[in-house]
Amino acid sequence: MSYLSELSQSSEYLSFRSSIPLRKVVVDSDGSKAWSIFDSGPKSVSCPLVCLPPVSGTADIFYKQVMGLASRGVRVIAAEPPPYWNMKEWCDGFKRLIDYLELDRIHILGASLGGFIAQKFAEYTKNCPRVASIILCNSFTDTSVFEYNDSAALFWLLPSLVLKRMLMGNFTADKVDKRIAESIDFMVERLESLTQSELASRLTLNCAPGYVQPQLLKDMPLTIMDVWDESALSSRVREDLHKSYPQAKLAHLKSGGNFPYLSRSDEVNLYLLIHLRQFDGTNLSASYLSLHRMPGSPQAEEGSVSYFNQRDKFVKIT
């Protein structure tokens, strides 16, 4: 199947592709695995926001964050991994990428699988911290919630078409608004571009038995972002994530589907700015500008967002 979605033909996406180059970075000794990254914003910032995609995503699904936040002085790196088949291998490769880019620490926006890996990477580097903070979008702490948990070891054998059909089942077929429909079309288009080994390795990481130890991240500045409408994750999975991090800030969107960074980018970018501005004036700042009460911040639709501390329940709407 080959077609062009509306978002991939939009002026914003075309501007993104024409102004920010796609870089291929090889960090593994065998030279066969290349990370794909879009790096935007001031290179003098050594603690940028790094965006990690879900199973079906490529680095460019975060183009609205790259364009929107870079215009406010934030360095944003959208990163897409090569095939890694276990979590240690992935974390080792990601650590080498960070070293190659000469980054001290990073903030991570992780979507679904990207969020799970962000937590595991923070665990993995706990003794020599490389993660300054995490924003989790529609994510989880335990892979046992997925139906293919028992057959994850066989994904490498399955043809690409079968793997894609497994993922397509998570894309809602219900009637949705235009922006959510456009985000689904764009993600289907991205899914079609992935190879068998990319899909199989990501599904293996997503479904192989694994869980996060949240007590190891209890001091990590963390924001949990999720939507109140229908998404691939059940309400139980979201509740388990909230219970795992009672210290986390909660960022809720009334709607947005599985891919709010595409369908509700203004609201998502607003939350990211709110999260990142707590690091203003420190060596962990993701921007060379002050993000506190910055003029021209994106305005979300009134009543569509709420941001509060889970423990103290006070509202912080900007």
Percent of the chain with pLDDT over 70: 86
Q: Which residue has the higher pLDDT, 292 or 55?
A: 55
Q: What is the pLDDT of residues 147-160, one digit of tens each?
A: 665 666 677 777 77
Of 105, 80, 84, 65, the C-alpha closest to 24 is 80
Residue 243 near residue 214, CB atoms below 8 Å = no
- Measured in residues, the chain has a length of 318
Evaluated on CA atoms 309, 312, 315, 318, the torsion sign reads negative
Q: Which residue has the higher pLDDT, 220 or 309?
A: 220
What's CA 88's distance to the chain center, in Å? 19
Q: What is the pLDDT of residues 217-233, one digit of tens each?
A: 999 999 999 888 877 67
Task: Indicate the pTM of the whole model.
Answer: 0.90
**Three-state SS letters, 175-228:** CCCHHHHHHHHHHHHHHHCCCHHHHHHHHHHHHCCCECCHHHHCCCCEEEEEEC
Q: Which amino acid makes up residue 62?
A: F
Q: What integer is the mean pLDDT of 249-271?
A: 94
The confidence score (pLDDT) of residue 1 equals 46
Q: What is the pLDDT of residues 82-96, one digit of tens each?
A: 999 999 999 999 999
The four Cα atoms 39, 221, 291, 226 give a dihedral, to 10 degrees, of: 80
Q: What is the pLDDT of residues 49-101, one digit of tens each?
A: 999 999 999 999 999 999 999 888 999 999 999 999 999 999 999 999 999 99
Q: What integer is the mean pLDDT of 260-288?
A: 95
Q: Residue 74: count other Cβ atoms within 10 Å of its Cβ.
A: 27
- 301 — pLDDT class (breaks 50, 70, 90): very low
Cα–Cα dist 78/108, whole Å = 10
Q: Which residues contact 43 (CB under 8 A, 6 or more apart)?
A: 75
The confidence score (pLDDT) of residue 317 equals 39
Query: Token digits for 254?
Result: 């009334």
The confidence score (pLDDT) of residue 313 equals 42
